[in-house]
Structure 1
Amino acid sequence: MQHISIDPSNVHPPTRDGSVEELSQSLPSAKASRTHPSKSGGENASIYFVGTATTILEWHGVRIMTDPNFLHAGDHVHLGPGVSSMRKTNPAVDLHDLPRIDLVLLSHYHGDHFDHHVEASLRRSLPIITTSHARSILTSKGTDSFTNIYDLEPFQQMMITIKADGYGPAKAPPALRVTGMPGKHVPVAKPIEKLNEFVGAIPPTNGWLLELGHGHDAGDFVPGYRIYITGDTLLVDELKEIPRRYGGPGKNIDLMLIHLGGTTVPHPSLSPFTLMVTMDAAQGVELMRLVKPEVTIPIHYDDYDVFASSLEEFKGAVEKAGFNGGGGGVVFLDRGEEYRFAVRQ
């Protein structure tokens, strides 16, 4: 198992042209702060929703960013041969106004998850956990390569210990365990899969299980909160392995960040000559039934014009399924809002 250490006391700007003197000390104040629908108290961690699939998690002084995309309304991304998409929204914070970032979880190498400004701007030593496909690209740029890239296959794990005062042999320090989770970004049909392999339009993708807890290493790690980040996936059979491994007392998933949108390529207006490559509202509800997270937060739902399944459709499907309230509830965040939660000690 790979193992790295993070020291949040180290001062380092997230972008190459940023300076320590100009480094923002914190994210903008959240427009609103949400907590568990039926339980609250003792919150010691938060997730800030930037937009698209970009979130920033803060715990024990560490900031973890998912799928950094900081383009603005009217900007375009390239999504494959002959396919582009226009962003319809603005991020809640600009790339060059970010505070220190300690780790990036990158589900796959696609412009709406790792845009060209992000790729050009992020500091080259920033630790990034991603797919083997993305790693091969980000480390193949000669002197401009990223230098701290790690890749995980489904159910492979990686430990990240956090340097903090007051911990030692008798008291386990805060730590993170990241597990690669399965995902399929193309429909499960042999002709389509073979065509995609040939043209390379849609790259391989991962989900993640991020566990926050305490431990010196993998042998004594005790998780205190589990977050499943789906990545850009459809509802495929491989996901059935998740509740087999993470379900039941002491193994449940506390929070699921679910990528929705019903992304349709090359564009929804070209139906019926299109493919859906991320979950729509109906598939999202079915995944909730399968995984049974304590709380679900939808992200990646309206930022680009290739998204065909709206957040309102998901809200309707959730209400029809009776998932609101208590365990299995849904928390809806707008860009610039945060969800606060408690990591068990």
Structure 2
Amino acid sequence: MTTIITVIGGPTALLELGGLRILTDPTFDPPGDHSAGPLTLTKSIGPALSFDDIGQVDLVLLSHDQHPDNLDKLGREAMSAAPLTLSTPDAAANTGATPLHPWEHHDVGRVRVTAVPALHGPPGSEPIVGQVTGFVLTGAGLPTVYVSGDNASLEYVELIAGRFPAIDVALLFGGAVRVPMLDERLTLNAAEMVTATRLLNPRHVVPLHVEGWSHFTENTADVHTAFSEAGLDHLLVSPAPGRPVTLTPA
């Protein structure tokens, strides 16, 4: 079985798996400034496709709702149009999504979605950055797909790899995010994405959350350089935004 992935921009991608059309962290607003508490985050690149371009979606996987680079105004409209959204308990309380705690699962057709731990920054930053989750998608005869969300913890990646030792496709959120109020990286940098890949041992890696916002301190070119220097560039899949790519498990 195959996975079809269409990168839309930022953390947003469309996965076609097991007969489902699955959207990650919907962001469809045009470029511009977005308020995030005391911060102003600036979006520099719009989505490659609008939600109308995408059409019917069966499931939204929302890593968190509190930051506009993972859920913006038009993204909320897209989420509302989908029959089911899975997210953190905090996001569920705010948006009406179905909550999942770490290691809980929800079956949607042939696909089992398991929430997995994520940490949006260094240990102890949770009161500032809030809850975030990743997801692992499994099913009989289907590729296993890991969606990291805005995770900065390699310890959690190692834990996930121990629970799911046969990842076929890893959607790794990067960008080495920094904001003024925290002198720490809030997502993986390119070198850490390489380390995460070594831990997960996937057949394919799709980088997300590496372009389009001013608070991203690394971009797609940095990811390609890091993977090339590590001898892992054959695993990297960076399709042109808006163009679907088919990934096979073997």
What TM-score do you get using the length of structure 1 for normalisation? 0.67
Summarize the alignment of residues 13-92 of structure 1 with structure 2, pairs less than 5 Å apart: 44-59=2-17, 61-73=19-31, 75-79=32-36, 81-92=37-48
Task: Give yes or no for the alignment of 1:338 onto 2:244.
Answer: yes
Q: Secondary structure at the match of 1:265?
A: coil
Compute the displacement of 1:44 (Å): 4.7
Q: Which amino acid aligns with 1:54?
A: T
Aligned to 1:9: none
CA-to-partner distance for each residue in 1:4-62, whole Å, 9 max, x for gaps?
xxxxxxxxxxxxxxxxxxxxxxxxxxxxxxxxxxxxxxx65411111111111124543
Report deviation, 1:317.
1.1
Deviates most, 89-98 or 108-117? 89-98
Distance 1:118 1:224 in 2: 28
Q: Give secondary structure in 2 for the equivalent of 1:275.
A: coil
* Aligned partner (choices 97, 101, 113) of residue 153 of structure 1: 101
**Which residue matches 2:111?**
176
Assess if the C-alpha contact under 8 Å between 2:171 and 2:207 holds in 1: yes
Aligned mates of 2:242, 2:16 — CA distance in 1? 14
1:62/1:243 Cα in 2 relative to 1: closer, same or farther (>3 Å)?
Answer: closer
Superposed structure 1 runs of 4+ greater than 3 Å apart = 120-125
Where 1:50 maps in the other structure, the secondary structure is strand
Could you list the per-position Cα deviations for residues 203-253 of structure 1 after superposition, in whole angstroms to 9, with x for gaps in the alignment? 211111012x3xxxxxxxx24210001110113423221221222xxxx10
Deviations 1:285-307 (A, max 9, x none): 11111111111111110110000
Report the alpha carbon displacement of residue 119 of structure 1 after superposing the two structures with TM: 2.1
Q: 1:138 aligns with which of 95, 101, 117?
A: 95
Measured after TM superposition, the shift of residue 180 of structure 1 is: 0.6
* Shift in Å, 1:157: 1.3
Give structure 1 stretches of 5+ with no counterpart.
1-42, 140-148, 162-174, 214-221, 268-272
* SS of the residue 1:306 aligns to: coil
The amino acid of 2:106's aligned partner reads M
Taking structure 1 as reference, are residues 287 and 92 closer, same or farther at Cα in structure 2, changes over 3 Å only? same
Match 1:253 to one of 146, 167, 170: 167
Give how far 1:274 is off: 2.9
- Gaps of at least 5 residues in structure 2 are none
Match of 1:299 among 208, 227, 244: 208
- 1:236-275, aligned counterparts within 5 Å? 236-247=154-165, 252-266=166-180, 274-275=183-184
Rounded Cα–Cα distance in structure 2 between residues aligned with 1:300 and 1:60: 24
The 3-state SS of whatever aligns with 1:224 is coil
* Count of paired positions: 249
**CA 1:115–1:238 in structure 2 vs 1: closer, same or farther (change >3 Å)?**
same
Distance between the aligned counterparts of 1:182 and 1:315, measured in 2? 26
3-state secondary structure, aligned to 2:194? helix
- Partners of 2:106 and 2:19 lie apart in 1 by 20
Structure 1 residue identity aligned to 2:75: V
Equivalent residue number for residue 144 of structure 2: 226
Distance in 1 separating the partners of 2:233 and 2:197: 12
Q: Could you tell me which amino acid in structure 2 is paired with residue 237 of structure 1?
A: E
Instruction: Report the Cα offset of residue 98 of structure 1.
Output: 3.2
Q: Distance in 2 between the 1:253 and 1:88 partners? A: 32
CA contact (8 A) 2:154 2:196 kept: no
Take 2:18 and 2:89, find their aligned partners in 1: how far apart are those partners?
29
> Would the aligned equivalents of 1:49 and 1:334 in 2 still touch at CA under 8 Å?
yes
2:146 aligned counterpart, secondary structure: strand
Aligned to 2:217: 308
Structure ID, larger Rg: 1
Alpha-carbon contact 1:57-1:63 (below 8 Å) kept: yes
Alpha-carbon distance change, 331 to 307 in structure 1, aligned in 2, over 3 angstroms: same
Structure with the higher fraction of residues in helix conformation: 2
